[in-house]
Amino acid sequence: MKNVDGRPAIRISGEVFGELRTKATFKDYHLRLQFKWGEKKWPPRDRPETPRDSGLLYHVHAPPGAGGRTWARSIELQIQEHDVGDLYAIGSAIAVRAKPRPGTQPALYEYDPSGEWTFFSQSQGASGRCIKQPDNEKPTGEWNTVELIAFGEDAIHIVNGKVVMRLHGPLRIDSDVPAPVTSGPIILQSEGAEVFYRDIEVRPISAIPAAFAAK
């Protein structure tokens, strides 16, 4: 813990790749936290043009290193400069309404409520990434508020009060038959950049909060 801007915060140095994992398993919850980037960056991500990186992993369903993976199988709410709110399906799969970004090859997909349901997964060489929309991130050096709603087979990524992605149908794909995964520990990543986290709150829910329910 460190005192940052007059208040206590968890400091993740980023010097090594690693994780801060909850002991508890969470299901049907609303998570809220604030983060702010520090100044330090570490190899191999210390170049000026390399964005600072961390991440919030949820529905975690494997130990670190399982299957030769750096990160545990999970769904990631990306916390990276300019990309906060993106999806990475890490050794898993999940659906998002999305459309391909024009002019990208291979295609990059962006969240679009009017798009087709599209499954994202890191299997068969795919990145498992879907880009959030809109970009509601504050400039580096300011505190950003990130929220995650996980209820049943639905998840919502929220950045500074704005829904930037709705997701549905998370699957674990580490067996012959994919199976729903709607609970698990939560992880904050250490991934080459100094970052501070504060005001981490998790509360159980019995429905998606009205403020974030689909219209």
Domains in the chain, number: 1
Helix (H, G, I), strand (E, B) or coil at 203: strand
CATH code of the domain covering residue 74 = 2.60.120.560
Instruction: Express each pLDDT in 95-133 by its tens digit.
Output: 999 999 998 888 899 999 999 999 999 876 678 999 999
Task: Could you list the beta-strand ranges (E) of 42-137.
Answer: 53-58, 74-80, 87-90, 92-100, 109-111, 116-121, 129-130
Measured CA to CA, the distance from residue 197 to residue 117 in angstroms comes to 33
In-domain check, residue 140: yes
Pairing between β-strand 187-190 and β-strand 29-41 as defined by DSSP bridges: unpaired
Instruction: Express each pLDDT in 178-209 by its tens digit.
Output: 999 999 999 999 999 999 999 999 999 999 99
Any bridge partners for residue 77, and if so which?
Answer: 56, 87
Q: What is the pLDDT of residue 154?
A: 99
Rounded to two decimals, what is the model's pTM?
0.96
Instruction: Express each pLDDT in 145-156 by its tens digit.
Output: 999 999 999 999
In-domain check, residue 165: yes
Domain that holds residue 42: 2-208
Q: What is the pLDDT of residue 66?
A: 74
In-domain check, residue 163: yes
In-domain check, residue 213: no
Residues 6 or more apart whose Cβ sits within 8 Å of residue 50: 41, 192
Instruction: Express each pLDDT in 52-81 by its tens digit.
Output: 999 999 999 998 777 767 899 999 999 999
> For residue 174, what are its two tokens?
């580490």
Any bridge partners for residue 79, and if so which?
Answer: 54
> For residue 72, what are its two tokens?
């545990």
In-domain check, residue 215: no
Measured CA to CA, the distance from residue 95 to residue 191 in angstroms comes to 26
Q: What is the pLDDT of residue 68?
A: 66
Cβ 179 vs Cβ 172: under 8 Å: yes
In-domain check, residue 214: no
In-domain check, residue 153: yes
Mean pLDDT computed over 27-32: 99
In-domain check, residue 73: yes
Measured CA to CA, the distance from residue 205 to residue 215 in angstroms comes to 19
> For residue 93, what are its two tokens?
């799969």
